[in-house]
Structure 1
Amino acid sequence: MVVRNSIVRYSVRQPVERGRPRLHALRDRETMMSVVTKPKLATEADRAIGSRIAALRAAQGLSQTTLGHAIGVSFQQVQKYEKGRNRVGASRLQMIADLLKVPVETFFADKVPAEAGTESIQALFDDPEIMDLVAAFRSIPDQTTRSGVLSIVKAAAALRQAGGTGN
């Protein structure tokens, strides 16, 4: 400690290794302190995962607030996940998958080869008519009505495949 004009100043000295000049010790310390890792930026894969979260959440009829409360984050954080601005950690992604009742692999749909004759999940999410159909179907509370709607859609699809009308 050095005292000058009633001001106490502390002198901080780094230990100097034997036989090594002080200049090198300072340079090494500065190098170590300047090594700061930058946060990982969101990638295209993060944006794809986010859009799948958004589509599945909307199809389930959940709000961002509800999803956020269920996984322990704010609705703003859910927005950041869905927009791909922030990465979703593995454990949180598993929580989201469990809440939405889908396997976690669903979020990595383009990485998983589609079975023969099936469309990729992402292609379904990208079709606004399908998303409207899912949202409308989920809004029907009565199970009997739901079964009737499903029967109508299946009959229309069968008619189309049989070569009947139905553009």
Structure 2
Amino acid sequence: MNDTFGMRLARLRSKNGMTQRDLGAAVGVSWSQVSRYESGKAKPRLPILMKLADALGTDVEFLTGDRANDEGREITLMLSGHEEKAIEDFATKQGISFDQAVNKIIAAGMKDRMDKSPDLMEQLEAEIPGGYAKLLEMLGKKN
């Protein structure tokens, strides 16, 4: 799924019960400019982007796609048949779903990298306080 800026803008505008005219008036641009943003024909400059986010009750990072929503961010993995089979076997042995197995494998890899790089762990904790503890929780481990 390729969720573009325009798609997020239109979805949030609709969710907030606003027309393009309403949103345009709220941020100081014409309804046709809002239409161009939604269709991907134009991108707002930062001051307007900030007003759009404020009017829609979100933040610039979500609107631009620079962070995931509350449900997380969907990613696509290209797996060989062998890799897919290995994950399926792991999931079966663990008694978990395929998706849970993938999440656990990714979390284990991230933990391994964090354990080997204190700078990376500091960066994680600075950006996501409690991030390492959450990683351990995903793996079913304690600090």
If the length of structure 1 is used for normalisation, what is the TM-score?
A: 0.39
If the length of structure 2 is used for normalisation, what is the TM-score?
A: 0.45
Which structure would you say has the larger Rg? 1
Q: Which has the higher helix share?
A: 2
Structure showing greater relative contact order (alpha-carbon pairs closer than 8 Å, 6 or more residues apart): 1
